[in-house]
Structure 1
Amino acid sequence: MNEGIVSENQNKLLVIWSSGDREVALSMVFMYVLNARKNDWWDEIMLLIWGPSAEILGMDPDLRAPIRELINQGVQVTACRACADLFDVSDRLARMGVQVDHMGEPLTGMIKEGWKVLTF
């Protein structure tokens, strides 16, 4: 393992939000990510919308403002295109400012590079 790669990325966080439970989003995911960004707990934060979370974000208007705030605070918010397409919400997510991309290879790369991963 290349120690240089790991040490360079030890302060990068990938939050994988896969839960379709809106309360998990509102009371855990969004709250932690926003506070982590505002308090500079991590140099870089990416929120990955994966699976059922894509559907709930695309359908629940109460979740849109918190996502916009995260984006405005500098959090990279990305959705898995395969998941978003499955739930037919890719266009809705993109209109919210969410980057919608295929994520299998990028996710694998981030893990191999030593990003810390937190899953909800």
Structure 2
Amino acid sequence: MKKKNLLLIISTDNVDSILKFPLLYGGVSIPRGYWKRVHIMFWGASIKVAASKKKIRKEIKQMQKNGVEFSSCIVCAEEYGVVKSLEKIGITCNHTGELLNKALQNDKLWATLTI
């Protein structure tokens, strides 16, 4: 059985790295048929970047049009005070450990990469 879902976890605050790997690859993965489902999870320092950098926010909105899902660690988002800012651009703020745990325990369905 071939994996169909990709979970990309971003924890870096390096804007260039975020744009050139997880957002670039994640953004083309559904249209090109690499993956059926792509979920990008912001964790830690990357949350501040997603909330504040226009270039990142613009890319997220475009990727959502192609079916890419986004979430953010609610604990981190609350600590940074950016929950409303993230939710405005369609990033769900929740307990991301639940999806991460599910993906890690079911490696027949999910491929997981951390950046």
- Normalised to the residue count of structure 1, the TM-score between the two structures is 0.88
Unaligned runs of at least 5 residues, structure 2: none
| Residue of structure 1 equivalent to 2:100 | 107
Which of 25, 48, 56 is matched with 2:41 structurally?
A: 48
Identical-residue share of aligned pairs (%): 24
Distance in 2 between residues matched to 1:102 and 1:61, nearest whole Å: 25
Provide the aligned length of Structure 1 versus Structure 2: 113
Structure label with greater radius of gyration: 1
> 5+ residue gaps in structure 1?
1-6
Deviation per CA, 1:46-84, whole angstroms, max 9, x where unpaired? 101111110111111221110001111101111111111
Mapped partners of 1:109, 1:28: distance in 2: 23
CA distance in structure 1 between the aligned counterparts of 2:30 and 2:82, rounded to whole angstroms: 26
Which protein has the bigger helix share? 1
CA contact (8 A) 2:103 2:112 kept: no
Letter in 2 for 1:92: S
Q: What TM-score do the two structures reach when normalised by structure 2? A: 0.91
Question: What is aligned with 1:28?
Answer: 21
SS of 1:38's partner is coil
CA RMSD of aligned residues (A): 1.3
